[in-house]
Amino acid sequence: MSTDMQHQAMGYDRTATMFSPDGHLLQVEYAEKTVRLGSASIGVAGIVSDARVLIERAQLLAQQHRITYDSPIETESIVKEIANMKQQFTQYGGARPFGVSMMTAGINGKKPELFVSDITGNYFSYHANAIGESDDKIKEKLREKYKQNLKIKEGIKLALEIFKEIKGNKFSLNKFELVYINSENKKIERIEGERIKEI
């Protein structure tokens, strides 16, 4: 019998707070596997309903900060709060971990920032990253081709080239939603489908 089967038979995967003898939280590992089955994205992947709860929390934090301090909240402050929330759901009985990793992008002054928080509540800062299906292949391509001085159009072209290479004949611009933040005016721009070709 494999180790995984033994752990399941002995009930180590019944709650998110029960460690297996070799120190694993099996429900957290199951949630991480779920994320890897989500839609490939250079953005957000995983269980959409879980992502929605976390995104609504992030929006609420941003609104409360704006009302209280009359200024935008820093990206990392939101990421910390979301990471704390995710971590709490890995340590209490009767609750399962959030089945979602999140990428959060923002502008701090004029500096663009990108953070990724995982299932466990850990988060890290990146210049470029990917989560979801085929994320290992996408990350490998980003390591090869990404440069920090890319302009918006060059970044869009690079991301689409990588997806085209990974997806092959399943690639279609109509399946993409593109969102970017201009560091000058700090406005969110959203472009879909055929409009991406214009860029």
pTM score of the predicted model? 0.75
Residue 58 in domain: yes
H-run or E-run covering 158: helix 152-167
What is the reported pLDDT for 62? Answer: 95
Residue 15 in domain: no
Residue 165 in domain: yes
What is the reported pLDDT for 5? Answer: 47
What is the reported pLDDT for 7? Answer: 47
Residue 7 in domain: no
Residue 129 in domain: yes
Domain span including residue 153: 24-198
- What is the distance between the alpha carbons of residues 115 and 113, in angstroms, rounded to a whole number? 7
Our count of domains for the chain comes to: 1
Residue 80 in domain: yes
Write out residues in the chain with pLDDT < 50, as ranges.
Answer: 1, 5-7, 9, 43-44
Residues contacting residue 49 through CB under 8 Å, at least 6 positions apart: none
What is the reported pLDDT for 99? Answer: 83
Residue 11 in domain: no
What is the reported pLDDT for 18? Answer: 56
- What is the distance between the alpha carbons of residues 126 and 146, in angstroms, rounded to a whole number? 12
Residue 2 in domain: no
CATH number at residue 96: 3.60.20.10
What is the reported pLDDT for 44? Answer: 40
Asked if residues 105 and 114 have their Cβ atoms less than 8 Å apart, the reply is yes
pLDDT tens per residue across span 142-162: 999 999 888 888 998 999 999
What is the reported pLDDT for 1? Answer: 43
SS3 state at 195: helix
